Structure 1
Amino acid sequence: MHILFLVLNETEYLDDILAAFVEVGVKGATILDSQGMASAIASNVNRQIPLFGSLKSFLDSSRPYNKTVFTVVESQELLDKAINAINSVIGDICKPGIGLMFTVPVGNVYGLPKNTK
């Protein structure tokens, strides 16, 4: 089992990613509203860090919030399909400002329904 995380800065892709998940067999995902550290520091009225103060003008024009999507997948095959689904929607995740995707192996999962065939 694996967990797939996607921190999506370009939130307009979210609905298409979720639809692509359904198409490849991902049965569920959790979506959280999130904010990056630089954005949080730059938007802090009491900021005392000069480096981040200089980033404020850059961050004012960017999206201050993002979405973090995560899903537990049971097989490497489904994980690969989910990753390909994301890439088919957003294109190159390495382009600046798109987001970040990573996976983590999972030892035990509790609370998911058993697969009934």
Structure 2
Amino acid sequence: MTNEQILNEIRETNLSYLMLAQNLIRTDREQALFRLGLSEEAADRLASLTPAQVLKIASGNTLVCRMRVDDDLVWNLLTNHGKGAANDAVSRLHASILMAGRHQEAA
């Protein structure tokens, strides 16, 4: 993958993320705050962006979203290494609970 292709992927991801975030915030603010890991202030800012501002932000070469899964425990629960399908739902639920707790700590 060339450098230009990577930059195009970043821009496309930024635009998709910003559009998704605005849509979620406008439809169900509480779910948006939880699912995207946003603060009230960030949600207010995102919701108020005009289409031109969204395009301008998205066209940058820096990714505007970030990875929220930042420890081995959550990664192991999400990837469910070597476990059967029966444990998959339980592992995902456990990971969601851990990430929800971290969202509350950040808020």
How does the TM-score come out when normalised to structure 2?
A: 0.26
Q: More helix per residue: 1 or 2?
A: 2
Q: More strand per residue: 1 or 2?
A: 1
How does the TM-score come out when normalised to structure 1?
A: 0.24
Higher relative contact order (CA 8 A, sep 6+): 1
